Amino acid sequence: MPGFDPREPETYWGLFRRESRLTAVRRGMAITVSDPHRSADGLRLDWEIRADDTETRYCLLRWDDIVRARFPRSNWRRLVGAPVLWWRLYRTGYVKSFRSEARRFARVIIGVHRIYAALVLASLLLAASLLRLVPDFALPWAALLVPVVAYAILALLMGATRGKPFYVAHLVDDTAFTHDHAGGAEPRMRDRLDAFATTIAAAEGHASEIVVIGHSSSSFLGLEALDRVLLRDPDFGSRGTPVSFVSIGSVIPWITLDPRAKEMRDALARVAASDAIRWLDVRAKWDWLSVHRRNPLSASRIPAPAAHRPAEIHVRIEDLIEQRIIARRKWNLFRMHFQLLMSSRLPTAFDYVAFVAGAEPVHAAIDRLRAVPIEGDEDA
């Protein structure tokens, strides 16, 4: 399950196919990736992977249409909605908790909203400065047009850049979606999660294992989908088909710290307590668009039910790409956020392609990682 991304699902197939070629060379594997095909209901993009003697069916669960309905929002909805949202978040104490649990990510999210506020203010100042071009006799009436002109200037700025280079529009709209979803105000996503749950449940008994992978915002959406499966069928995962959840670039506390996110916190607690579902959290302290300071359960004010729940793996950026590339990409936050979905330069490091399509079952890898002592990751 991808994050808040409006791109067509074939983008992810292309990324996986490209990275699989690199993994094949770097690890001496024979990897083939089939052409993709969309499901009849349009909710999945499926392809098959053969890595040496292992066959994997990869299903991308789609919600890009929901993202496109939310991003880019109209400038009016963004202009009105952002102050209302942040007033609520400050008033309820969310911002203080968010800053504590997600230091770097909070800086990014709060920072882009400040940049957006600066763009709004700049638009107003520029519109007001244009009054100097108006004759004195027309000034009283022209002053009434300042908000209209400022709105037009802001629309031009946001339309021309879409917030780049800091992806302001994307992250402002993503934040609005996250907190709307926290309060149950995004019914399309709720319906989509029900459909995802049906798809996931249908795989039981037809595969050697089921692995649900949630990247970015889908770190919490994937948990919700699995929780829906468990609510329908409490025995799911205990009938011989191992089930695993893998969160990558997780942002779980982003939503669970919202006081309105009670349903999300309940879902998180239920999945975490299920012995039938293994959970691996893949973390990278260099990823500024993820929350990785500590256990996502503890960060969400939910007691962890057992040691190594979830199991954790901490990935170093130096193991994935060369130092010269790191220097060039360091401040491209979105590019770095996707790095965990790509091939690693070191054959001993975490490699997404080898992880999902290699010979070792994911549930076995999680069991193995549970036995490894967890190193601290306080630089968040």
Q: In this predicted structure, what is the pLDDT of residue 376?
A: 45
The single-letter code of the amino acid at 196 is F
pLDDT surpasses 80 at 136: no
Q: In this predicted structure, what is the pLDDT of residue 309?
A: 81
Class of domain 10-67+186-370: alpha beta
Q: In this predicted structure, what is the pLDDT of residue 92?
A: 97
Q: In this predicted structure, what is the pLDDT of residue 65?
A: 97
Interval 294-348: pLDDT, tens: 889 999 999 877 766 899 999 999 999 999 999 988 889 999 999 999 999 999 8
Interval 150-178: pLDDT, tens: 999 999 988 877 666 778 999 999 999 99
Q: In this predicted structure, what is the pLDDT of residue 377?
A: 44
Interval 206-259: pLDDT, tens: 999 999 999 999 999 999 999 999 999 999 999 999 999 999 999 999 999 999
Average pLDDT over residues 139-150: 79
Q: In this predicted structure, what is the pLDDT of residue 378?
A: 45
72 within 8 A of 164, measured Cβ to Cβ: no
pLDDT surpasses 50 at 380: no
Q: Average per-residue pLDDT in the chain?
A: 92
Q: Is the dihedral of CA 198, 201, 202, 203 positive or negative?
A: positive
271 within 8 A of 300, measured Cβ to Cβ: no
Name the pTM for this structure. 0.93
Domain boundaries, the chain: 10-67+186-370, 75-176
Q: In this predicted structure, what is the pLDDT of residue 139?
A: 63
Residue 229 CA: distances (Å) to CA of 212, 224, 235, 272:
12, 9, 10, 14
226 within 8 A of 270, measured Cβ to Cβ: no
